[in-house]
């Protein structure tokens, strides 16, 4: 059995990014779109996160942490440049483009899409194994799980 990773509350929007919309660096004002209900203070720690969103082995969470650390520095630098009315260098622009692309993949919808794609891929491979080598040849990792 694989040991669970210690970070249970995993954010799909980085906390450093959310802090840019906070007056105190710890909380945000929140509106629930479906109901229109407004929360004057909502903890950043609990927003845009889900328990084990990236799984419990910690691999994705650690990799994203490394990327976020670099991006956070660029965001701080860009905000400073904005205050000084300086132009944002191309290297930073590239980082922001990569950050935006990565964020578009850190959604529940994307996660479902990739899981479904993986399931379809496994189904195709299992079919090829069965066709070419017989039903007993299908590796366990390609068999559908109930």
Q: Which tokens hold the place of 139?
A: 């590796």
Contacts of 51-57 with CB under 8 Å at 24 or more apart are 51/8, 51/9, 51/10, 52/5, 52/8, 52/10, 53/10, 53/11, 53/12, 53/111, 54/10, 55/5, 56/2, 56/4, 56/5, 57/2, 57/5
93 has pLDDT over 80:
yes
Calpha distance 140→125 (Å, rounded)? 12
Calculate mean pLDDT across residues 34-53: 95
DSSP class of residue 106?
S
25 has pLDDT over 90:
yes
| Site of tokens 């990014």 | 17
123 has pLDDT over 60:
yes
Calpha distance 66→64 (Å, rounded)? 5
Calpha distance 128→50 (Å, rounded)? 37
pLDDT value of residue 2: 57
Calculate mean pLDDT across residues 79-90: 91
Per-residue confidence band for 5, with pLDDT thresholds at 50, 70 and 90: low
117 has pLDDT over 70:
yes
């Amino acid at each position: 059995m694989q040991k669970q990773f210690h970070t249970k509350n995993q954010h799909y929007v980085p906390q450093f990014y959310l802090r840019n919309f906070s007056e105190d660096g710890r909380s945000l004002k929140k509106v629930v779109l479906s109901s229109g209900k407004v929360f004057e203070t909502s903890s950043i720690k609990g927003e845009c996160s889900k328990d084990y969103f990236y799984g419990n082995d910690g691999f994705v969470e650690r990799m994203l942490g490394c990327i976020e650390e670099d991006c956070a520095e660029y965001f701080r630098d860009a905000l400073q440049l904005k205050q000084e009315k300086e132009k944002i260098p191309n290297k930073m622009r590239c980082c922001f483009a990569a950050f935006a692309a990565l964020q578009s993949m850190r959604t529940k919808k994307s996660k479902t899409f990739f899981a479904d794609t993986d399931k379809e891929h496994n189904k195709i491979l299992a079919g090829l194994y069965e066709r070419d080598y017989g039903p007993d040849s299908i590796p366990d990792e390609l068999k559908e799980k109930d």
